Structure 1
Amino acid sequence: MSLMIWKLSTDSEIYKKVLDEQMDILRKREEGAEDRLTWAEIQKMKYTWRVAQELMRIIPPVFGSFRKALKDTEYGGYDIPKGWQVYCVSHGTHMNKEIFEKPTEFDPSRFENPSKPIPPYAYIPFGGGLHTCVGNEFARVEVLTTIHNLVTMFEWSQVFPDEIITRQPMPYPSMGLPIKIRPRKL
């Protein structure tokens, strides 16, 4: 969540596209409808979710994870005996140019209609297979709902515009992401 606020604070083009998508949802809301988001409206937040996906690709929420070798195996010329712990680092695939074209560029459109499919277990911000985080759908709804309310109701700016992201061990704005917030003028 804080990374989305950080990204929208530092990238005016991305912020404008997210704001346009969110305001469009409000404009298309039927007169007399509830002021709360509906499930159908959340499903329309395609661009906003692609921004979150791209953020999680470049700055994974979890650096990596351990897995236990269930049998003797070989990978990349190395023998891995049964029982050994193997550490998988998300950046190993998230920043691989053979998987993601121009991996250092922030490009949410790569999740829209990829020119080539993303191989299984190459994009793993929520893990994969049996180890996929059970909260991944909750996280998606939480991020989309919060960002919708934030961008449609408020404007903000960072107190420290050059704030960097560090790991403690998860990604965290180095100065705590203090922001100046004010109601949006309609």
Structure 2
Amino acid sequence: MKYSWNVACEVLRVASPLQGAFREAIVDFMFNRFYIPKGWKLYWSANSTHKNPEFFPEPNKFDPSRFEGSGPTPCTFVPFGGGPRICPGKEYARLKILVFMHHLVKRFKWEKVIVDEKIVVDPMPVPAKGLPVKLYPHKP
């Protein structure tokens, strides 16, 4: 199911379940000519990281092949956070995603009811109308 996980990762890159998080600067430092003093609270954005063309060429293109081989540069794909604060449910989420995808693809043909449905962020990215689909069971 390597390709299925590549597809799931690309979906997570495009519509990350984690919008970002706050961190505290532990030392004074400069970033893009801005002085950041120790103790300041900083917000990092997973969406900005996932849409950075330096790490993900053509960031608006859906391309599961980005995750083949060794995949993206470490610390650039962070839908579950990273480091010591990574989501403890990451592997459980992976399992649930893959099992769901397997059953959806193997048991049903499906089509979107609203072809060009918009995605809204409130605070998580979700389809504006709930992503209604028509499911057609595969004939045995």
Partner of 1:170: 124
Query: Does the alignment pair 1:139 with 2:79?
Result: no
Q: Give, in whole Å, the separation in 1 of the partners of 2:122 and 2:49.
A: 22
Cα pair 2:114 2:132 within 8 Å, conserved: yes
Structure number with the higher helix fraction is 1
**AA partner of residue 161 (structure 1):** V
Spell out the pairing of 1:87-166 with structure 2 (5 A cutoff). Answer: 87-113=43-69, 118-166=72-120
Aligned-residue offset at 1:185: 1.3
Q: Give, in whole Å, the separation in 1 of the partners of 2:47 and 2:101.
A: 26
> Where do 5+ consecutive residues of structure 1 fail to align?
1-44
Aligned-residue offset at 1:135: 0.8
Spell out the pairing of 1:72-91 with structure 2 (5 A cutoff). Answer: 72-91=28-47
Question: What SS does structure 1 have at the residue aligned with 2:102?
Answer: helix
Aligned-residue offset at 1:173: 0.7
Q: Give, in whole Å, the separation in 2 of the partners of 1:71 and 1:63.
A: 25
**AA partner of residue 141 (structure 1):** L
CA deviation string 1:80-129 (max 9, x = no partner) = 11221101011322111211222221110111026xx6333211111011
Q: Give, in whole Å, the separation in 1 of the partners of 2:134 and 2:72.
A: 38
Question: What SS does structure 2 have at the residue aligned with 1:74?
Answer: strand
Cα pair 2:113 2:134 within 8 Å, conserved: yes
| C-alpha RMSD over aligned residues | 1.5
Question: What SS does structure 2 have at the residue aligned with 1:139?
Answer: helix
Cα pair 2:19 2:45 within 8 Å, conserved: yes
Partner of 1:5: none
> Where do 5+ consecutive residues of structure 2 fail to align?
none
TM-score (norm 1): 0.70
TM-score (norm 2): 0.91
Question: What SS does structure 1 have at the residue aligned with 2:103?
Answer: helix
Cα pair 2:50 2:56 within 8 Å, conserved: yes
Partner of 2:135: 181
Identity of aligned residues (%): 46
